[in-house]
Structure 1
């Protein structure tokens, strides 16, 4: 049985509750920018459509098809365009307002702090590997009081590549001064976190709170962070 010494976490959708925080942010923007004046969509429809488009754009970004600027500049234009809002009527600051406000939200998944305290108490070195943009991720960590838990915070920008590219995991191992054999990756994304870590020779924990069915082979699978205490 392997003895892990270094634990690498994903941030969004694993510790930091992206969906809940984005929902609060989008509701605020709907009211702040008076999007109800268009009279063609509810706030729930706005949030649902934004989520679909944002996820699709992130897949393109992770595949190297678009860059950060393109992702940020088109997601609200496309979202509101689906409801018949002309591009020239899309509020000019809505994208910046979103990126400014979202990372200030602090909701995390249940047992996040308790589990991180437990793992630190057990002597594990904790680190982050995230595809999120550096400027936003550090604000999220500070807002949610997660920063003190982590020794190394590896972003796609600092490593020059995105998960699931094995090079970001190798860069993280080098930064942490450890080996793949001594390491474990915990994340919610089967491709980015699980397959990426596997290709770098790192064991994985698939965090699957919705208990989605899949056929992937993973080292461990959990639906609640508290389950980490059962084998770490």
Structure 2
């Protein structure tokens, strides 16, 4: 088994349970802004449509086709107009409220804390590499009590590029004082995390809790974070 020293984790959808935390936040906004008064869509409709719109916008953002500000400003406008709310009636601050509330949520995937403690105790140096926005990622870490596990937190904003760009992985290695040969990337996104790391010469762990079918060649694949103990 290859010896690793530096472990690079993705944050959202890998450790921090974005879907659970986002759903809780959307439920709060639905109530706070009394969106039920329109009578044309349900809470489920609201969360489902938001997720569709948000995922589409994130794909554009990760392809450098829209800016961070465009992503934030468009996601609720598109969600609510698609649900029949006149654009002039969309609360001007709903996106800002979402951004303020979401990172305060603390749900993480099963075994997150136990596995990170195990890895730290085994002597691995842990880092984060994330396309998430700088102003919220550190709040997420603090809210979910994850901050102390990680030596370096590398964000796309700080590095000036997005995963899967090899330059982001090179920046992460340089900041961590690590080599590709002694490093391992753990993440849920086949393109951004797995292929990005592969192209940077870094071994990968694909975190695939839903056991999605794929044909990618991967160093390791897990459906539960606890499985990291079997080879680390």
> Which interval holds the TM-score relative to the shorter structure?
over 0.9
- Given that 1:8 and 1:185 are in contact with CA atoms closer than 8 Å, whether structure 2 keeps it comes out as yes
User: What corresponds to 1:117 in structure 2?
Assistant: 117
How far, CA to CA, are the matches of 2:89 and 2:39 in structure 1? 14
CA-CA distance at 1:101 after TM superposition = 0.1
2:205 partner SS:
strand
| Aligned-pair CA distance for 1:92 | 1.2
Q: How does 1:11-22 map to 2 (within 5 A)?
A: 11-22=11-22
- For structure 2, the residue ranges without an aligned partner over 5 or more in a row are none
- List aligned pairs for 1:147-186, cutoff 5 A: 147-186=147-186
TM-score (norm 1): 0.99
* TM-score (normalised: structure 2): 0.99
Q: Which residue of 2 aligns with 1:130?
A: 130
Q: Give distance in 2, aligned partners of 1:101 and 1:84.
A: 25
Deviation >3 Å, runs of 4+: none
Alignment of 1:62-211 (within 5 A): 62-211=62-211
- In 2: Cα distance, 1:12 partner to 1:39 partner: 33
Measure how far apart 1:93 and its partner are: 1.0
The alignment's C-alpha RMSD in Å is: 0.5
Secondary structure at 2:79 match in 1: helix
TM-superposed deviation, 1:2 = 2.0
Distance 2:83 2:102 in 1: 23
CA distance in 1, matches of 2:43, 2:30: 6
Does 1:61 pair with 2:80? no
Deviation digits for residues 53-100 of structure 1 (CA, Å, limit 9, x no counterpart): 000000000000000100000100000011111111001111000000
Structure 2 CA distance for aligned equivalents of residues 60 and 86 of structure 1: 25
Structure 1 contact 2–181 (Cα < 8 Å) conserved:
no
Q: Name the CA distance, whole Å, in 1 between partners of 2:79 and 2:51.
A: 9
**Matched position secondary structure for 1:128:** strand
- Give distance in 2, aligned partners of 1:154 and 1:88: 38
Quote the residue 1:213 is aligned against. Answer: 213
Alpha-carbon contact 1:60-1:66 (below 8 Å) kept = yes
Q: Distance in 2 between matches of 1:45 and 1:84?
A: 11
Distance in 2 between the 1:195 and 1:28 partners?
36
SS of alignment partner, residue 154 of structure 2: strand
